[in-house]
Copies of this chain bind each other. A is one copy, B any other.
């Protein structure tokens, strides 16, 4: 139809088209059932052309992962816009990340896989770089919240620590809690804990451990939750359609160890 004139917009647009179709296929079935042939069959291009955009299946997965990280970046951007303390912003980021994990579970776990040799060894240079960029951008939001708390005077770094370390701990802790919550709430076995609620409790524990003031109980009353339910209204509605509600923080058991 239109060869030779693909070098710019066209290419980007078809990239998106392919990724969007792939995402649809994932949502219809699941990630493991996605195949390059299936993608090619559901798109007005042939397999060869698909391989012109993604050098391997792993590269496609990397593309989907990056797609997801862009969604998170957008959620984080909105979280950064709320009115509130550094601690409020940590809460907002956690909320956003949990929202993402519940809405896009496959892509959430792709984020881990993208760091694994089996993926990144077969991804294109271009997409790997984008992956690092996006990671940087996400971590930047966390760092910003940490530094806000420091300038507010609510957080004093312990000797030998820097903000990056703090950001790392916040990230790792949120990831762990959300991963376990996301897994446990959809797998067989005993369900002894309200996992989604515990995500926020865990962040509170970390913050308390860091000596990050004010203490946890502030979350209950503060108007951040209402702000969040406003800025994430469409995402929350999408979640409700899937039968999942996220009315956790209001009933969050609080750790009042001032």
Distance (whole angstroms) from the CB of A256 to the closest CB of chain B: 7
- A115: chain B residues within 8 A (beta carbon): 183-184, 187
| A257 touches B (CB below 8 Å) | yes
B253, A160: Cβ atoms closer than 8 Å: yes
A256 touching B202, Cβ below 8 Å: no
Whether A158 lies near B188 (C-beta < 8 A) is: no
Chain A, 147-176, CB within 8 A of any chain B CB: 158, 160-161, 164-165, 168-169, 171-176
Q: Give Cα A206–Cα B177 distance, bound, in whole angstroms.
A: 12
Q: Do residues A158 and B30 form an inter-chain contact, with CB atoms below 8 A?
A: no
CB-based closest 8 A-B pairs: A176-B176, A205-B209, A209-B209, A208-B209, A115-B183, A160-B253, A172-B180, A115-B187
Name 6 interchain pairs, CB-CB below 8 A, sorted by A: A161-B253, A172-B181, A172-B202, A209-B209, A209-B257, A210-B255
